[in-house]
Structure 1
């Protein structure tokens, strides 16, 4: 197979050399130099040089040609270095780099699939709780407690929104439209949407943002971010009659949004890891409702939108989320 491949590769070169030799002999013949012995000698020497060149060239390429003419059984077979010429050495180097890119893409795909699988398992497990509560409420003989039903429905809605957002992250650029967003309007819309959550947990929002403060963002993704931060703040405020402070200030070319709660706070040991996927931490284990994906997804969205996300916290005093928008 290696010889056959080599012949096919150099057949045009061999034909060219024969045509060139005949052309030169024709020129000499027309010029009056008509010695048949000399012509035969010239042809023989030319053929000998051409064949010697091709044999030497074949010997240098033999192992490489044998490798590419046989289908590899393992990846190691394809990555063996057998080339001895510059051209084939560059080809092998190209293949090795291509394989590295392939490995990187496969590992990234595997990590994404693994993350999605783990997230779906945790999400389904978490959604069983409100479904079970709703079943118990329906089985009771007394009048249905609409308030309790509404709370469980809200938990289901937040869970469904989380899984949909996680699925859309893979094609984020196709679902993004940056524009001017009135920050206070976006905040108040989210506060009103979470009115029942505030009332049920007896947490009171306090918003201090200028009406004319504008940020560059995607309104849909920004609403998810704000909703996620508000939900987390309320969820980890265990004591009643606490406040949630939402403020924003313009600093040079940036707008800083602050969402500060009076909840339990995040331990220092957990703080560096709260934005990693599936990290629930000490507080998440207390509630038993955390998938560990909320802040991770929020961080991913902020990075894709060009916003900076900072988290500071103190145990027993609360947590502050800071989002920095580029003006």
Structure 2
């Protein structure tokens, strides 16, 4: 197979040499063909040189040609080094780089699928809790506790919103529209949407955002990570009658939005890892409701929108989340 490929590769070269020899014979014939032995000698030497060139060329390419004519069994076959010429060495280097790109894309795809699978498993497991509670409430003979039902429905809604946003994150650029947004309006919408959560946990928001402050962002994604930060602040504030402070200020060419709570805080050992996928940390184990995906998705959103996310915390004193918008 290698010799056949070599012949097909050099058939044009051989034909060119035949035409060249024929041209030399024509020249000898036009010159009167006075010395036949000289013409035969020139033709013989030309044939010998051509044959020697092709033989040497084939020997240099034989191992490489033998490799490429056989169907590969593994992707690692592309990494074999068999070339003895600069041309084929560059080809092998090209294949090696292509293999690295392929490996990177496969690993990225595998990591994405693994993350989605793990997230869905955790999410389904956690959604069983509100569904089970709703079933118990419906089985009770006394009058249905609408407040309890509403709380579980809210948990289901937040869970559904989380999984929907996680699915959309894979096609983020197709689902993004950057516009001017009134920051106070977006904050108040997030606060009002979580009014029942504030009341149920007896935690109260205090908003100090100037109505004139405008940021460039995507409204849907902005509302999602604002709601995530607010629900986290409320969820990890265990003592009643505490406050969530939401404020914003302009510093040079940046808008700084701060969301500060008076909750249990984040241990220093967990602070650098709270935005990693599935990392629940010490606080997540206390509540038993954390998927470890909320802050991860929020961080991903901020990065893709070009917003900087800064988290500072002190145990037993509270946590502050700061989002920095470029104005």
Matches within 5 A, 1:312-323: 312-323=312-323
C-alpha displacement of 1:22: 1.2
Q: Which residue of 1 aligns with 2:121?
A: 121
Matches within 5 A, 1:1-327: 1-327=1-327
Residues 34 and 138 of structure 1, relative CA distance in 2, 3 Å threshold: farther
Partners of 1:27 and 1:301 in 2: how far apart? 78
- The answer to whether the 8 A contact 2:78-2:99 is kept is no
C-alpha displacement of 1:23: 1.5
C-alpha displacement of 1:269: 1.1
Give SS of 1:269's match.
helix
Give SS of 2:272's match.
helix
- The answer to whether the 8 A contact 1:246-1:259 is kept is yes
* CA RMSD, 1 decimal: 1.0
TM-score (norm 1): 0.98
Partners of 2:251 and 2:33 in 1: how far apart? 93
Partners of 1:184 and 1:302 in 2: how far apart? 18
5+ long unaligned stretches in structure 2: none
- The answer to whether the 8 A contact 1:274-1:295 is kept is yes
- The answer to whether the 8 A contact 2:249-2:257 is kept is yes
Partners of 2:65 and 2:34 in 1: how far apart? 43
Q: Deviations over 1:123-165 (max 9, x none)?
A: 0011000000000000000010111100000000000000011
Q: Deviations over 1:63-93 (max 9, x none)?
A: 1111111112233333211100000010011
Partners of 1:170 and 1:49 in 2: how far apart? 61
- The answer to whether the 8 A contact 1:313-1:320 is kept is yes
More displaced, 294-303 or 36-45?
36-45
5+ long unaligned stretches in structure 1: none
C-alpha displacement of 1:31: 3.9
- The answer to whether the 8 A contact 1:284-1:292 is kept is yes
Partners of 1:314 and 1:50 in 2: how far apart? 82
- The answer to whether the 8 A contact 1:67-1:78 is kept is no
C-alpha displacement of 1:27: 2.9
Q: Tell me how many residue pairs correspond in the alignment.
A: 327
- The answer to whether the 8 A contact 2:280-2:292 is kept is yes
Q: Deviations over 1:200-221 (max 9, x none)?
A: 1111111001111000100110
C-alpha displacement of 1:43: 1.4
Partners of 2:315 and 2:191 in 1: how far apart? 25
Partners of 2:319 and 2:68 in 1: how far apart? 61
TM-score (norm 2): 0.98
C-alpha displacement of 1:175: 0.4
C-alpha displacement of 1:33: 4.5
Partners of 2:158 and 2:70 in 1: how far apart? 56
Q: Deviations over 1:275-308 (max 9, x none)?
A: 1111101111011000001001110000000000
Give SS of 1:63's match.
helix
Partners of 1:78 and 1:231 in 2: how far apart? 51
